[in-house]
Amino acid sequence: MKVLGIETSCDETSVAIVEDGRKVIINNTISQIELHKEFGGVKPSIAKFAHEEVIDGLIEQTLSDAKLSLNQIDAIAVTIGPGLIISLLVGFKRAKELAKKYDKKLIGVNHLFGHICSNYLESDLEPPFICLLASGGHTQIIDVKTYTEYEIIGTTLDDACGEAFDKIGRLLGLSYPGGPNLEILAKNGNPDAFKLPEAKVRPYDFSFSGLKTAVLRLVQKLPENYNKADLAASFQENVTNTLVKKIASAAKDKNSKKIVVAGGVAANKTLRKKLQEVRACHGKPLQVFMPNLKYCTDNAAMIASSGYFLKDTSQDIEMLDVFAKDPSSIKLKTLSKIPL
Ligand code: KG4
Ligand code: ZN
């Protein structure tokens, strides 16, 4: 089954074709990073126009790269949230028009569910597993029971993990997005240079605002020429230690044999290395899965994969229509089978 995926939830316009949820035939992404850099974050109105400018051409290009016509596509999957509503609508409207014109099934995908599915791409991963989802908007530990059933067992109480990377990146004078740029700066730093606090919250929950404030206070006290690489490395060390500790203890408590990481922060190489080390010292056989680097940050391949796994779930397309007409009425709860 070939699914065309469309993703426009934030600052990446992406279109992909994936076969049977795992085989990526083509994944084309146009990033808007350069357009948002001067604002230090995503500017929704610019994001919307940038998506509109490229979406039709990108759909055409993707089909042509795959040497396929829309008639040869079995279903269309599109991100319906969470994300910037005006950006989401650009992709949703195109998906709906194409589904109607070519008489294809339209599948609405929760973006976070999409990130989990990025782990099925070009991999043989099968549920059950424990997933750490760390993106720019969310930090969650999810008990994935089957391809479509899961339970969120931990979440952030304030800032998301990627958001914390972005904010500290800004504080260090790095350009948007802070996460990958902070990782580059941290390469030349000493991760033990500064002792930073760890939030005391419930075992699977997260809180990054105290850490953010501690870094801010520290910078205010340090001389102007303080070693930024050391601070970046110490921050990264603190956050990745917390993430790894929590996912490892969730896996242990749930007696899970597989841990999985997803979302933009999953691209962080220190985090990836530490997760591999958990495998080495877990004692019991434990498999660690991570998406290919190109599928960690936002992409349509993960949305097309989600479409495949959600193909038999019932969705209320009328609700999707309401969402298209009145963005404020979006309630992911109404999409019964995608409750993330
Ligand atoms: O999943 P994603 O592309 O978008 C959302 O759904 O939010 O995640 C983007 C987030 C940003 O906050 C970005 O700074 C962070 O992921 N990120 C990283 C790295 N690459 C992206 N954080 C740390 N290290 C990285 N290498
Ligand atoms: Zn994302």
pLDDT tens for the 340 residues of the chain, in order: 999 999 999 999 999 999 999 999 999 999 998 888 888 888 888 999 999 999 999 999 999 999 999 999 999 999 988 888 889 999 999 999 999 999 999 999 999 999 999 999 999 999 999 999 999 989 999 999 999 888 999 999 999 999 999 999 999 999 989 999 999 999 999 999 999 999 999 999 999 999 999 999 999 999 999 999 999 999 999 999 999 999 999 999 999 999 999 999 999 999 999 999 887 666 667 899 999 999 999 999 999 999 999 998 877 655 555 454 444 433 333 333 333 3
Residues with CB under 5 A from ligand 2 (ion): 135, 298
Tokens representing 32?
A: 């808007």
Tokens representing 130?
A: 């424990």
Tokens representing 302?
A: 């993960």
Is there a common fold for 2-117+296-329 and 127-290?
Answer: yes
Task: Identify which of 240, 265, 271 to mutate to test ligand 1's pocket (most ligand atoms within 8 A of the CB).
Answer: 265
Could you tell me which CATH number the domain at 127-290 has?
3.30.420.40
pLDDT in tens, 190-206: 999 999 999 999 999 99
* CA pair distance 136, 175, nearest whole angstrom: 15
Q: Rounded to 5, what percent of the chain is helix, strand, coil?
A: 45, 20, 35
Residue 117: C-alpha distances to residues 47, 109, 237, 318 (Å): 25, 11, 27, 25
Counting from 1 in the atom list of ligand 1, the atom nearest the Cα of 297 is: 3
Q: Which ligand is nearest to the CA of 179?
A: 1
Q: Does ligand 1 lie within 6 Å of residue 208's CB atom?
A: no
Look at residue 318 in the predicted model and tell me its pLDDT.
Answer: 54
Look at residue 81 in the predicted model and tell me its pLDDT.
Answer: 83
Task: Identify which of 79, 135, 184 to mutate to test ligand 1's pocket (most ligand atoms within 8 A of the CB).
Answer: 135
Residue nearest to atom 7 of ligand 1 (CA): 136
Residue nearest to atom 3 of ligand 1 (CA): 297
Q: Compute, in angstroms, the gap from residue 283 CA to the centroid of ligand 1.
A: 31
Cβ–Cβ under 8 Å, residues 338 and 314: no
Look at residue 91 in the predicted model and tell me its pLDDT.
Answer: 95
Architecture, CATH, for domain 2-117+296-329: 2-Layer Sandwich (3.30)
Q: Compute, in angstroms, the gap from residue 284 CA to the centroid of ligand 1.
A: 31
Residue 100: C-alpha distances to residues 13, 95, 97, 335 (Å): 21, 9, 5, 20
Q: Does ligand 1 lie within 6 Å of residue 11's CB atom?
A: no
Residue 197: C-alpha distances to residues 209, 212, 237 (Å): 11, 10, 11
Q: Compute, in angstroms, the gap from residue 49 CA to the centroid of ligand 1.
A: 22
pLDDT in tens, 244-261: 999 999 999 999 999 999
Judged by DSSP in three states, 166 sits in helix
Q: What does pTM read for this prediction?
A: 0.93
DSSP sequence for 268-314: -HHHHHHHHHHHHHSSS--EEE---GGGTSS-SHHHHHHHHHTTTS-
Tokens representing 187?
A: 């390469």
Across the chain, mean pLDDT equals 90
- Name the residue ranges covered by the structural domains of the chain: 2-117+296-329, 127-290
Judged by DSSP in three states, 102 sits in coil
* CA pair distance 173, 153, nearest whole angstrom: 35
DSSP 31: E
* CA pair distance 19, 60, nearest whole angstrom: 18
